[in-house]
Structure 1
């Protein structure tokens, strides 16, 4: 990997995005953040993942971090609470990301919920829960038809908070969190739901503390997020792994108290971020509109 790129990325992260020059900000493909308001439901206090609805247009899915009930929340794009859905037969050991997109059946939209947080790297097995995206209009608020994708890493136990699915191939991508050069891992489609999947390591990228990622519905644009910044890539014929090992565009970022969530709006017009609520600081939903 290009050493100059590694040094440049780490330097920019260390000074913080609030100190970037006006010329760098002007080159961003997104306008600065606009606040959409505080999250309405007080039970959403450790939002660790965010995904735009497909069966629920103009709405967002989120979930709490470790220790909460096995449930997901549906919000509108201004942080207003719409519904809570419970997941039957699973626990929330440490849920860290959520994604909406294609799955096994072509005409259905799925939610992928990542049970892969592991602060001390003590859990060998990690899980991805995959199920059809429910609708706000559904009478039931319980989800029971859940596929479990069990996986391990090829190079030891890892903590990870970033997951997305390539909409073109349905391959699952996981980015680890705590290494100076984090790993890029893939579970190729079709993922087994009857045996443990060993992820394939595809490369590394120099973004310690990566806590969120998402990809556009056409599979051409990717965002990742650390506690200090947001990074943007656009494909030009290369693979996802090769793309993520190139230099990204830095996006101006409103530093959040503990921001661990990012989600593209499904029409590609921008993206949302959301924070946990450390020290009882109310979480604010932000939207970054595309220029």
Structure 2
């Protein structure tokens, strides 16, 4: 490979590895009385103005579509056949068999112990109040040696990744949940993954997202947004390296973060009533 091409690739990598975003602008307010504990968000791949969210433990088996420009609730999607014990995060991305899916994780430890279930459904063709059937093939159950989890992410190849929530001073574990587990009816026993270099400052992390192109990862803690550049799809290796700290505005109990679908920035949203939706634009 010519030297100038190698140099260009190195420069591109360095630019991507040092991203710059503004300090965050309020783009809307979630006024819906149905949404009071928004614990995760993801940007629809099929509907350009839609972000999906859900409530934390104590909520029902419902996903809410909100307008990313205003925060207004657009629709309630009821997942028939899915249980909601402690839904902690949501992810948008490819389905294992093609098309676009939404994944929601019943992963947390707030409702009498971890459930360790992930549900998926194909994005609806139109956004309106509706019921969506969840079949046995749309549920993946796993076990691992961590007691709590609030972060679910999907890569461009439909492989899933989760991150344990830990007490202050401990290191979170990142593990791969293989897509081959869908439709088998078998419990997936997760092997050990990798650990964050950073220790938790509170009970963290509480959310995360892989960019649509697969090259960038965000992980949310209560007081931070962390960033990793992943050039080769090796998320376990990348997340074992020190992250870059991105801008983050104060939120009451911010547990939700996601990329804009074109990579032009990221959103954050907090639990609570009438909370602002923030967007951090790439500079």
Instruction: Give the counterpart of 1:148 among 130, 135, 139.
Output: 139
Query: Does the 8 Å CA contact 1:115/1:127 hold for their aligned counterparts?
Result: yes
Where 1:242 maps in the other structure, the secondary structure is helix
* Alignment partners' CA distance in 2, 1:133 and 1:238: 24
Q: How does 1:88-127 map to 2 (within 5 A)?
A: 88-106=80-98, 108-119=99-110, 122-123=113-114, 125-127=115-117
Q: Aligned-pair distance for 1:56?
A: 1.4
Per the alignment, residue 268 of structure 2 pairs with 273
Q: Report Cα offsets for 1:50-89 as digits up to 9, x if no partner.
A: 0001121121000001111110100111201111111112
Cα distance change, pair 89–43 in 1 and its aligned pair in 2 (3 A) = same
Where 1:217 maps in the other structure, the secondary structure is coil
Answering whether residue 155 of structure 2 is matched by residue 166 of structure 1, we say: yes
TM-score when scaled to structure 1? 0.83
* Alignment partners' CA distance in 1, 2:130 and 2:237: 41
Q: Report Cα offsets for 1:138-175 as digits up to 9, x if no partner.
A: 6x60000441100111x2x421100101213x221000
Q: Supply the RMSD in Å over aligned alpha carbons.
A: 1.8
Instruction: Give the counterpart of 1:249 among 232, 244, 247.
Output: 244
Per the alignment, residue 59 of structure 1 pairs with 50
- Structure 2 residue runs of 5 or longer lacking an equivalent are 1-17
Number of aligned pairs? 256
TM-score when scaled to structure 2? 0.85
Query: Does the 8 Å CA contact 2:164/2:174 hold for their aligned counterparts?
Result: yes
Per the alignment, residue 34 of structure 2 pairs with 43
Query: Does the 8 Å CA contact 2:31/2:275 hold for their aligned counterparts?
Result: no
Instruction: Give the counterpart of 1:85 among 77, 94, 97.
Output: 77
Per the alignment, residue 122 of structure 2 pairs with 132
* Alignment partners' CA distance in 2, 1:137 and 1:271: 22
